[in-house]
Amino acid sequence: MKTLIKKPKFFPFLFNKKKNAFSKNFLPKIRTKTVPGPQSQKLTESLKRYECPQITRINENFPVFLKKAFGLNFIDVDGNRYIDLTSAFSVANIGHGSAAVLDVMRRQAREMMHGMGDVHPNEVKALLAKRLSEITPGNLNQTIFSSTGAEAVESALKTAVMATKKTGVIAFEGAYHGLTYGALSATHRGDFRKPFLKQLGAFSYHVPYPDAHVFEEKASQVALRAIQSTVKKARRSKHPVGAVLIEPIQGRGGIVPAPPDFLKALRAFCDAEKILLIADEVFTGFGRTGSMFAIDKSGVVPDLLCMGKGMGNGFPISACIGTTRVMHSWGASTGDAIHTSTFLGNPLGCAAALAVIKEIEDKKLVERSRDMGEFFRKELWRIKEKHALIGDIRGSGLMIGLEFSQVSYGKKKKTIIPATDKAGAFIVEALKRGLVLLPSGPFHNVISITPPFVISEKEISFCVNTFDRILQKMGV
């Protein structure tokens, strides 16, 4: 299988071999008088007719229709070029159209595009399972493959029941774990849950996330006490707690990191109570936070770790990896696996994931994510003093939250008021200038900045200077 994962070329226009440094990427170029341009507007009318209206947000500012992607850039159907500051939902971590991934997938497609995952496995699946055991923390070494992040989370939820015989799960306020029914039960957002509450399981308990921005120095204490109290109350209920599910850094919750001391205390508590600790690293995995997995920085090893998004750099593949002890609680298959799926361990996905891991290691992209993230935050702090609207800058690696908020001072305490409308206006103006951004946080007032790792200091400075000009135009 050496030919499958041999060292491929990597974006020749991005990497200068002589200088051993990334060369400049393409900056934005807007060709149309309006954004969205005329071709995007035409396709919008077609989409309105043929797609469920709940799926794509449509108004005078959205969407643009994308046609091509390479490196750091999107090209839309009107020929406009954008810098992607989202990695397309933190998926294209190593850059769009990576030659490393494409070359391997072409070869794999010629050999086998689809296998028989849980009956007659393909060779690449076995190679990837072993590789994941090598790059994940501690003694995590047995994997359940799937296609989406939500499926990986549901694999973990099921495993927790098998291992502990307890059905209750503690998740956190602000949590996002996916929208399939099991994952949705653990997701916190009320607008996602409300229409389906009568069909959702009642096994999840939500406690405050250890958000230092909200609870300051008491963040860890507040969250841990809530967990202890919930476990105690649930002991005699229908759903005693068998697992705690946490994002080491909340993604859609507003780019909120959990303090390392909290994660260590949580690990100790779970051990004492014989509760499983599940790390949802679907968003944060594969170098996004400046370490291969976000939880690595705390030194904590979870019982189960969920991954997806950047795992295949665009090809849908995900996984839940756990300890041998926990995974063996399922028992051996007798022929009909009680948890499986048609595309489990798909050969193309496994080949893509192997190529992604190799590229991350060969090009030291974890370190690059860390270094470029530090530079990006430094540049953002440079303009913060000029704009009162910027309430906070946080994150790790190239996972950055730029919070827009205003502060109101009362007699007893200060109140932080989310600047939701201004965040929305900022994203619209950024798109017109060729920067693709997404909002996050429960009030949609946090600008989520998660670009591909191939971004350079030049592009970062360009983006931050553009932010500065937009905020000046907004008068904030």
Q: Give the domain CATH number at 134.
A: 3.40.640.10
**362, 377, 398 - which closes a domain:** 362
Residue 97 zone, left/alpha/beta (φ > 0; ψ -120 to 50; rest): left
Q: Specify whether 262 is located in the same domain as 126.
A: yes
- Establish if 332 belongs to a structural domain: yes
Q: Specify whether 80 is located in the same domain as 174.
A: no
Tens-binned pLDDT, residue by residue, of the chain (476 aa): 344 444 434 444 454 444 444 545 589 999 999 999 999 999 999 999 999 999 999 999 999 999 999 999 999 999 999 999 999 999 999 999 999 999 999 999 999 999 998 899 999 999 999 999 999 999 999 999 999 999 999 999 999 999 999 999 999 999 999 999 999 999 999 999 999 999 999 999 999 999 998 898 999 999 999 999 999 999 999 999 999 999 999 999 999 999 999 999 999 999 999 999 999 999 999 999 999 999 999 999 999 999 999 999 999 999 999 999 999 999 999 988 999 999 999 999 999 999 999 999 999 999 999 999 999 999 999 999 999 999 999 999 999 999 999 887 776 677 889 999 999 999 999 999 999 999 999 999 999 999 999 999 999 999 999 999 999 999 98
- Establish if 9 belongs to a structural domain: no
What span, in angstroms and rounded, lies between the C-alpha atoms of 398 and 72? Answer: 13
Report pLDDT for 410.
72
What span, in angstroms and rounded, lies between the C-alpha atoms of 121 and 437? Answer: 39
Report pLDDT for 395.
97
What Å distances lie between residue 461 and 93, 360, 457, CA to CA?
20, 24, 6
Q: Give the domain CATH number at 52.
A: 3.90.1150.10
- Establish if 20 belongs to a structural domain: no
* Three-state DSSP string of 436-473: ECEEECCCCCEEEECCCCCCCHHHHHHHHHHHHHHHHH
Report pLDDT for 25.
55
- Establish if 417 belongs to a structural domain: yes
Note down the domain range covering 377: 26-97+366-474
**341, 362, 383 - which closes a domain:** 362
Q: Shortest CA distance to 157 belongs to which of 227, 238, 241?
A: 241
Task: Indicate the DSSP class of residue 289.
Answer: T
Report pLDDT for 104.
97
**Domain count of the chain?**
2
Q: Shortest CA distance to 174 belongs to which of 221, 201, 206?
A: 206
Q: Specify whether 118 is located in the same domain as 188.
A: yes
- Establish if 263 belongs to a structural domain: yes
Phi, then psi, of 211 in degrees rounded to 5: -90, 105
Report pLDDT for 248.
98
Q: Specify whether 286 is located in the same domain as 396.
A: no
Q: Shortest CA distance to 358 belongs to which of 134, 115, 89?
A: 134
Report pLDDT for 77.
98
pTM, two decimal places: 0.93
Q: Specify whether 325 is located in the same domain as 390.
A: no
- Pure H helices in 274-405: 324-327, 347-362, 365-384
Q: Specify whether 82 is located in the same domain as 126.
A: no
Q: Specify whether 145 is located in the same domain as 194.
A: yes
Q: Specify whether 193 is located in the same domain as 85.
A: no
Q: Specify whether 113 is located in the same domain as 31.
A: no
Q: Specify whether 310 is located in the same domain as 170.
A: yes
**362, 384, 403 - which closes a domain:** 362
Rg (CA), the chain: 22
Q: Shortest CA distance to 390 belongs to which of 399, 381, 378?
A: 381
For the chain, the distance separating the N- and C-terminal CA atoms, rounded to the nearest angstrom, is: 57
Q: Specify whether 302 is located in the same domain as 447.
A: no
Long-range contacts of 22-27 (CB under 8 A, 24+ apart): 22/368, 22/454, 22/456, 23/456, 24/456, 24/458, 24/459, 25/71, 25/72, 25/73, 25/83, 25/454, 25/455, 25/456, 25/458, 25/459, 26/71, 26/72, 26/73, 26/81, 27/83, 27/434, 27/459, 27/462
Q: Specify whether 90 is located in the same domain as 186.
A: no
